[in-house]
Amino acid sequence: MDTSSLATRFGSFRSASEASAFERWRASLVQFTGLGLSEEEQSKRDQVKGLEREEAQWRRCEAWKNDLMKNSPVVVFMLKHLALHRTNLTSAHVHCAPCDPTRAGGFSPDAGILLCQDRFMSKSHMQDTLVHEMVHVYDHARFKVDWSDLRHHACSEVGGFVHLDESGVDRVDSGGEFEWGLSVVERDAEGVYDVFKATSGVCSASGDPFGDGQPGV
């Protein structure tokens, strides 16, 4: 076959290989832009892109987490103090996962620490969140915290803020997009937030938040 001038609906090409290269480029462009796809193809493309984005976010979150747990002075400090209370927190207890827009992290005594892989603006933002949640782990290890008790939960939240203030860790200015909020509880749980405000004067570094004679965090 004479390939000196290969005609296609996109024009003439000098060779079959040139036409093939153009088709590959066109297919790549279609997948990148979504132009020319059917509704079904667009839906599949969006699903693939979403999975690729989640995987990239997870890999970044895991890399930052492991680096912080090895090299961040404040995170290493918290790990040492947790170990003093027989709590060996490892990277296996800190999970990266996508979250809703209302939170950056969370803590559950059963599941460990959650880091919201799609909510961090920087590694320092993740550091702040990780330390905040580690304070909850510390409270759980050292005190008899009843997480279903709003006052206990609120006091632990205050402890997280107090610790960050005293450790000199800079909080990231989110420009309103993110809020520290209450770690596991949604922002619409106004009851916890009301207790949080009402007890903020009591739950401090010199207070007795859990009523057991122990100092706050």
List active site positions.
133
Q: Which residue bears the tokens 């987490």?
A: 65
Residue 124 φ then ψ, to 5°: -65, -35
Complete edge-to-edge strand list for the sheet that includes strand 112-116: 94-97, 112-116, 105-108
The number of residues in the chain equals 217
- What's the one-letter identity of residue 33? T
Which is nearest to 111 in space by CA: 140, 76, 149, 72?
A: 140
CA atoms within 13 A on the CB side of 42: 7
Q: Which helix (H) or strand (E) holds 105?
A: strand 105-108
